[in-house]
Chain A
């Protein structure tokens, strides 16, 4: 059973602070890792993906992957109220688009102005 675990939150951070979102996964064979943002009533939108151990930065977002610990995280610098949403961690076992992503339950982030 492939599982992806996230703290459901809510995680509250003040505007301008760093928000840290964490995710662990059970399948050691997992190859690709994704962070999606979902606003209430909307479908998820991709923020970042990461395949290799280490950090990957894109603007205010940094994804961190540690395959040995089966852990992936997302840091949001200079958090803005517009970042308030549910963040979904997703994992894929294969380098293939023909297998569905396994999603965590999501962490609700609230950025307070």
Chain B
């Protein structure tokens, strides 16, 4: 399957600082990437849809000014958690699809980023 690389895998930051998470599609171009958040023992919650060359689409309840998404190229989307607080501590996962047709609708996930805000 296609490869999606996410970095860093783990980050600890101080409350009030910002953290950037990168998501790269390594062997395909992704016009659309998705950012999820997962709290312990809960399911994936879609945060936003990242569209190359345009503004991201945020899900209801997700603060666009707090979770900045940039999709500047067909292989890279970044999520910046600004002014992080302990309640932002979570597992953040990106995904992308080759999206070329019927057999390519499955989402490939990055390795995830464990964010801990202290």
Question: A interface vs B, CB < 8 Å?
Answer: 31-32, 34, 36, 41-46, 49, 51, 88, 90, 92, 94-98, 100-101, 103-106
Q: Describe A's contact surface by its main secondary structure.
A: loop
Please, which residues of chain A bring their CB within 8 A of the CB of B64? none
Please state if A46 and B34 are interface contacts (CB–CB under 8 Å). no
Q: Which of A41, A92, A103, A105 contacts B105 (CB 8 A)?
A: A92
Residue of A32, A49, A103 most packed against chain B (CB within 10 A): A103
Whether the pair A95, B112 counts as a contact (CB closer than 8 A) is no
B43 touches A106 (CB 8 A): yes
Nearest CB to that of B34 among chain A residues? Answer: A100
Q: How far is B108's CA from A42's CA once the two chains are assembled, in angstroms? A: 13
Write 5 A-B pairs (CB below 8 A) sorted by A numbering.
A42-B111, A46-B107, A96-B105, A101-B95, A105-B43
- CB proximity of A7 to chain B, nearest CB, Å: 13
- Residues of B at the A interface (CB closer than 8 Å) are 1, 6, 30-32, 34, 42-44, 46, 49, 91, 93, 95-102, 104-112, 114
Contact at B107–A95, with CB atoms within 8 Å?
no
Expressed in whole angstroms, the Cα–Cα distance for A96 and B1 within the complex equals: 16
Max chain B Cβ within 10 angstroms of own Cβ: one of A88, A90, A95: A95
Known contacts A97-B32, A100-B34: A44-B109 contact under CB 8 Å = yes
Which A residues touch B108, using CB under 8 A?
Answer: 46
When distances are taken between beta carbons in the complex, the residues of chain A under 8 Å from B101 are 95
Question: Does A95 contact B105, Cβ atoms closer than 8 Å?
Answer: yes
Known: A42-B112, A43-B110, A100-B49. A51 touches B43 (CB 8 A): no
